[in-house]
Structure 1
Amino acid sequence: MSTATPHVSSRVFGLFCLASYLLSLSYGSTFLLSLLIGSRGGNEHDAGSVISAAMLSTFAAVVVSGHLSDLLGAARSIALFGVLLVAASLGFALTPGFGNLLLFFGLLLGLGWGVFYTLGPMIVASLVTPAQRAKYFALLSGSMMTGIGSGPLLGRAASAFGYPVTAAFYLAALASLMGVLLFWRLHSQLKKTPSPTATVARISWRATTQVLSSKAVFPIIMVGLGGCVFGGLSSFQTSYAASRSLDYSLFFFGFMGAAISSRMLIAGIVVKRDALRASCLLSGVMAGSIVLFSFVVDSELSYVLAAMMLGVGYGLTYSVINGLAANETPHGTTSQSLLLFSLSYFIGVFGFPLLAGKIIVEHGMTTLLLTVLAIGLLNWLITLGRLIWRRVDSSKSLQQA
């Protein structure tokens, strides 16, 4: 049997990606929370607290998502918890002020997004062969990141037509509801698709120990660091743009455009290359984008360029290390590795904004950018170290032979 032939039809996978895009709009709209809460008298620290509330509930989501998948099916579990994304988006729009009720809706967001973000890659891993995973992970993450990037653009479009920023959250809720309905319908179609990989989705301490004792621990750490970079820059991009008299929509246009085009034009080439070399190069591009944000951006052109570099570097790095997390784990623990991969991502993307907001309020945007740069460089050094270790190990093997 040829590993080049996908086990899922293009139509089904296309609907899967569309549903993923629609659900992702709800998370993307949270990048407007800083703007929304600021208009109600709050600051970046308040916004970071709401976003980071989601980190607590994602822990529960990651733990229970595997059990839900085994009990109800992954697509139907995503649909059920996707309703919480609808509720969270509506809650952000309807809640007055910036009190504890927003924290509650942040928790709902974490539950819904956590189940979706965890089970989505597991569906892909079960539908395609290991050789195809990097390619199909790229298509899935491209759909999700396009939705994430579109969320803030809804806010910019709303303001352009004279509507308040809350209109973006209403639209995100409507889009997420459509995504819920699509995932509910996909359940029966995915059940008919033959699976080349039999997996158990539940996580256990034994499986966790096996995964973290393998090479899969490196991409799991990297996705957490990358999540810090992405969460720190995106969650407070409205504040960054305002500090430099720029339009924040340029960031999301540049980021989303680069993420989409890189997947269409070069993702197929990247996934065929050596994964460690590719992740080293791409994480270096991501670190370079942070340098631009920190020291170079002073015009619309440089702003868009930095955003495009982040879109290419972060977007493609994520796809590559997602494949590494699935393929470098011990046999029979692929699903558990992907669960830990998602958990690490959530710690970074939801946990870091709390610290980032505090840094902005107490020390300023410049200090935050330097902190994010240090994280980006550490992320790059992990892949560089792995490449050097592999070369040394290969040289030793040749000498012994």
Structure 2
Amino acid sequence: MRASHAYFLFVGTLLTAAGYGATFLLTEHFRALGGSEIDTSTTLGGAMAGTLIGVPLVGWYAKKLKAARMGAMGAVSVAAGYGFLALLTTLTPLIALAGFLIGLGWGIFYLAGPMALSERVTDQDRGFWFTRFGAFQMAGIGFSPIVAAALVEHLGLSTRGAFGVIAGATLVAAVLLLTFEALSPQASQARAQTSNWMRALPALLSSRAIYPILMVGLGACVFSGMLTFQSSLVRGTGLEAGTFFAAYAVTVVVARFVLAPMINRADGDRASVVLLALMILGVVTAFGLVYGVPVQIASAILLGLGYGLVYTVIQTQAVNDAPPEHRSAALTWFVIAYFFGIFGFPVLGGWLIVTVGIAGFLAAVLAFAVAEMALALLRGRQTTRKPVSA
């Protein structure tokens, strides 16, 4: 695979990830239509259902359809979801269908994108390429709500119009992913892996891989809670949600390039505990958002360093801790657990904000962060410590 070809995948990844990042504006969109966080929860509940279908579809059909093509199909599904939202002028139960299409597409892409890259690189180069892939993905997630907000605030677009732009961007992503497949075909000796991931579950439950699989779900609850409802967290404080998104995105992208190699060489158990401690501090700091922009930026940086770096550490643990014959299944369950948190927690989060307020909501987010730390400590006591390799 030529480096120039990889950038078709990377830019396609950035634009597809922008589709997920734009979900952070759902609350503002529904408020403009007279709704609330409950409508955000409904939409993201549909998205969670979509991801739980999209992820296994990749495992079943990637070998036949090719991973990059499936990634393009996922981007088209995301575009359809946002196009549907852009066409709706009133609140309707159909917002769950729009969420389903977004979740289906993101679930397909989230597994197919890395798979398409992995099929084309050597074991020695995989860490290098995955780091860059992750940086483009996080850039899309983090900067998308900033760009969308700018379209609304400075160019006079409605949130419906901004979602229309997102739909167009994800269609461009689909074209780029198809171009990547055409320019850099899969090596003849490579095979897209299929896995009996359901049958592998009992074996994974009895292995140490279950710890990072559960941990990624808990961490995703923290991530989705802090970003999806950031506009709710800063309401009445004079702060802008875009400030948090920008600080978080810059932190993660820079950290992935600068600090990730050092983290990958460190002891995985110790690294995960330190990074999770930073994530917990980021949530605790959010309780003080009323004290201004410096506190908001500090919270974003701590979350970006903690969550942004620990993800790759525990992803490696999930694969390495699994029985060799079930490593593909471990990665599939890892992604499923991630999406349970990403789209599942907002279903609870919207209800918490409406019923118990911001403080109660943040307390729930903090509880998930502490639970992930507890699992990291428990795993560390039951495994021989060794360096994590990307």
Q: Scaled by the length of structure 1, what TM-score is found? A: 0.90
Q: Deviations over 1:290-320 (max 9, x none)?
A: 0100246521111111111111111111122
Q: Deviations over 1:93-112 (max 9, x none)?
A: 22112211211111111110
Distance 1:244 1:201, change over 3 A: farther
What letter is aligned with 1:24?
A
- Tell me which residue corresponds to 2:319: 326
Q: Size of the alignment, in residue pairs?
A: 385
Q: Deviations over 1:158-214 (max 9, x none)?
A: 11233222332122112111110111122234434476x755223343323333332
Contact 1:224 1:345 in 2 (8 A): yes
1:109-124 correspondence to structure 2 within 5 Å:
109-124=102-117
In the alignment, is residue 160 of structure 1 matched against residue 154 of structure 2?
Answer: yes
Q: Which moved more, 1:174-183 or 1:239-248?
A: 239-248
What letter is aligned with 2:369?
G
1:359 maps to which of 347, 352, 356? 352
- CA-based RMSD: 2.1
1:131-142 correspondence to structure 2 within 5 Å:
133-142=126-135
Write the distance in 2 (CA, Å) between the matches of 1:235 and 1:121: 24
What letter is aligned with 1:248?
A
2:179 maps to which of 161, 185, 201? 185
What letter is aligned with 1:389?
Q
1:64-213 correspondence to structure 2 within 5 Å:
64-129=57-122, 133-158=126-151, 159-193=153-187, 200-213=193-206
Structure 1 regions of 5+ residues with no counterpart? 1-7, 395-401
Q: How big is the shift at 1:223? A: 0.9
Q: Which moved more, 1:118-127 or 1:317-326?
A: 118-127
- Tell me which residue corresponds to 1:292: 285
What letter is aligned with 2:170?
S
Q: How big is the shift at 1:265? A: 1.4
Write the distance in 2 (CA, Å) between the matches of 1:220 and 1:203: 17
In the alignment, is residue 371 of structure 1 matched against residue 364 of structure 2?
Answer: yes
Write the distance in 2 (CA, Å) between the matches of 1:386 and 1:261: 29
Distance 1:364 1:284, change over 3 A: same
Distance 1:130 1:218, change over 3 A: farther
Q: Scaled by the length of structure 2, what TM-score is found? A: 0.92
Q: How big is the shift at 1:33? A: 0.5
1:31 maps to which of 24, 38, 58? 24
1:266 maps to which of 254, 259, 271? 259
What letter is aligned with 1:99?
T
Write the distance in 2 (CA, Å) between the matches of 1:361 and 1:22: 32
Write the distance in 1 (CA, Å) between the matches of 2:243 and 2:305: 15
Contact 2:216 2:334 in 1 (8 A): yes
- Tell me which residue corresponds to 2:268: 275
What letter is aligned with 1:238?
S
Q: How big is the shift at 1:76? A: 0.6
Distance 1:371 1:131, change over 3 A: farther
Distance 1:14 1:272, change over 3 A: farther
- Tell me which residue corresponds to 1:398: none
Contact 1:142 1:263 in 2 (8 A): yes
- Tell me which residue corresponds to 1:45: 38
Distance 1:34 1:226, change over 3 A: same
Q: How big is the shift at 1:128? A: 4.2
In the alignment, is residue 18 of structure 1 matched against residue 11 of structure 2?
Answer: yes
Write the distance in 1 (CA, Å) between the matches of 2:141 and 2:270: 27
Q: Secondary structure at the match of 1:243?
A: coil
Aligned-residue sequence identity (percent) comes to 32
Distance 1:80 1:12, change over 3 A: same
Q: How big is the shift at 1:139? A: 2.4
Q: How big is the shift at 1:385? A: 2.3
